Chain A
Amino acid sequence: MTEHDDSRSAATVAEPVAAVPGTPPAAVHGRGGWRNFRRRVGSNRAAVLALGVLCVLILIAVVAPWITPQDPNAQNLRAVLVPPGTDGYWLGSDQLGRDIFSRLIVATRVSLLAVLLAVAVAFVAGAPVGFLSGFVGGRFDMVVMRINDAVMSFPPLLLAIGLVAVLGPSLRNAMFAVGIVFAPRFLRLVRGVVLGLKEETYVEASRGIGTSTRMILVRHILPNTLSPLTAQLAVTVGFAMLAESSLSFLGLGVQPPDASWGSMIREGFLYFYQSPYLGIFPGIMITIAVLTFITLGDGLRDALGREERKER
């Protein structure tokens, strides 16, 4: 929920890269390292399980329009708020007689796409700036970090609400807002890695023999940011999903008749006393999805940690 310690993982990434005389530096953290990393993730049972669940969720999201037993937006005023198990409505129906099960399936797609959008915004807004900030350093870095501190001192959900207030409630705006809120995580992470690597001898060395700055960036820094970024991405998707569902629950995200899990809980809340189960299933879906992403992120980070320890 709150900040996972990016700076620490960034620091451990930077430390153990040893210059091996005679071998091209890229080999130190190149393909071999990545393969090792994948193998270590594979040895974490929880992470493997999470990966499996993620694949199922993605599959559901992709084929959603074709597998819903009913049209998720089709109203049936003769079967309003029927309980789960009723013929034709596995998980019951909502206040307009729409099939909950079908809506859950479609909402999977909406929710996943929404958080992907949010995390993409966070990444695009955070990573390049962090990269530049770390690489350029000096006064530019100082200013960037002040702004970053300021953004991080906002209660995340309130900043998002403020942004939605001016932009207007819609899923796109809500996800943009969530993206801005999470951007500092990527900024800090990438900056940390870059700062650490800048000091590494092999970067210095290759600069000495006249490699261009761009080559240094591409060959050394980018590959090294890849693994910690993957872990951070997974965890952030999890937290972005909680933020999305909160905003949609407040009616600031997805707008009817579309449904995300969060907005389904909102509808369940509005008809809570007539049929309390409306809100139960989407909540379970959110929990499963968030748990999946966070477990995956933890697994990736643990794998990273172990890899670093072994190299040392």
Chain B
Amino acid sequence: MLKFVAWRLASLVPVMVVVTFMVFGLVLLIPGDPAVRIAGQDATVEQIEAVRDRLGLDDPFLVQYADWVAGAVQGDLGTSLFTSRPVAESISEALPVTLALTLTAIVISLCISVPLAVLAGLRRGTWVDRLATLGSSVGIALPSFWVGLMFVLLFSVTLGWLPATGYVPLSEDPVGWLRHIILPATALGIAAAAESTRQLRGSVIEVLQQDYVRTARAKGLKTRMVIGKHVLKNASVPLVTIIGLQTTFLLGGAVVVESVFGLPGLGQVAITAVTTRNIPVVQGIVLVAVVVAMLANLLVDLSYGYLNPRVRLHD
């Protein structure tokens, strides 16, 4: 098992090299002189020179890259262009919010999709099944930020049940946290739920036809046990792949949903940075997001070992 983890970590290295290169290389894409573009049209020569100096734009590209990566490895992502605040600091403040949102979205997505998919798979061809299939098609097509708006309209403005904006950290007030996170997380999780339902329904149907399910029933196990233990564990294998991909996707989606609900996450930081062309901050956020996504996928890979014993024993 340890060998498997080590091997997976090692295989991330070449991808990480390319990723960091791409993130840093974003600067190269800036049309014209980056220093002029970043400092702004009305900047004085001194200001432009200051930017050039601070970003090390006169060094050869590879030197700049090496400096940046060396810093990043030690947790130094440079400083903001305008406030000279360390980028890592603003990110570490905002990241927990985005992580909480993404994670809650996945949990909600599973709470919706697992029962729905199992029910649809068991009652194949009935109205429950048809409704679940139709619902999952529509769910995938819903823009999450719009769903968020509609939630605010319904639950905050019309019914007044939940707050429309703001955030309370979990450590301060768990109930308040839940009240603030539930709408954005559901809005973000609906598309994921739709896709998981679709995937899981298919694998439940497939697993139900397996001989070992008949064996489980022949043992006299209760239906709850047959489905919850024997069917679900095997049907989860493809679902887990999907969840890995979804985590990557949802981290991006979270940025948009955050701006609907005014959550102080990476999205807020990113949008401000993009509109002010605060390139070091943008680079930092993108890099952190990729690393988080990669770690999430690593976790997912490890859970294969639990679901499929073959993987565990052969590596």
Contacts and interface: CB of A to CB of B under 8 A. Distances in A.
| A and B, direct touch (CB closer than 8 Å) | yes
Contacts of A291: 137-138, 140-141
Contacts of B286: 154, 158-159, 161-162
A154 B293 contact: yes
Nearest to B149: A279
Given A153-B294, A169-B274, A246-B145, A146 B31 contact: no
Nearest to A291: B141
B274 A155 contact: no
Contacts of B30: 166-167
A276 B154 CA distance: 10
Contacts, number: 163
A164 interface: yes
Contacts of A282: 146
A286 interface: yes
Interface in B246-276: 246, 248-253, 255-256, 259-260, 270-271, 273-275
A240 interface: no
Interface in B1-53: 14-15, 18-19, 22-23, 26-27, 29-31
B160 interface: no
Interface string A243-268: 00110011110000000001001001
A213 interface: no
A23 interface: no
B65 to A, nearest CB: 15
Interface stretch (B77-85, B277-285, B303-311): B277-285
Given A1-B140, A246-B256, A154 B289 contact: yes
B279 A166 contact: yes
Contact of A154 (B14, B283, B290): B290
A151 interface: yes
A269 B146 CA distance: 9
Contacts of B191: 1
A76 interface: no
B173 to A, nearest CB: 26
B18 A150 contact: yes
A2 B145 contact: no
B299 interface: no
A190 B30 CA distance: 31
B131 interface: no
Nearest to A288: B141
Given A1-B246, A154-B293, A146 B252 contact: no
A162 B166 CA distance: 25
Given A162-B23, A273-B157, A279-B149, A156 B252 contact: yes
A179 interface: no
Contact of A279 (B142, B146, B246): B146
Question: Which 6 pairs show the lowest CB-CB distances between chains A and B?
Answer: A157-B252, A155-B252, A283-B146, A150-B18, A290-B141, A2-B245
Interface of A: 1-3, 146-147, 149-151, 153-169, 238, 242, 245-246, 249-252, 262, 265, 268-269, 272-273, 276, 279-280, 282-283, 286-288, 290-291, 294-295
10 contacts: A2-B245, A150-B15, A150-B18, A157-B256, A158-B289, A161-B252, A166-B282, A286-B141, A286-B146, A294-B140
Interface of B: 14-15, 18-19, 22-23, 26-27, 29-31, 137-138, 140-143, 145-146, 149-150, 152-153, 157, 191-192, 194-195, 242, 245-246, 248-253, 255-256, 259-260, 270-271, 273-275, 277, 279, 282-283, 285-286, 289-290, 293-294, 297
Given A156-B249, A251-B271, 5 more contacts: A150-B15, A158-B251, A161-B286, A162-B283, A287-B143
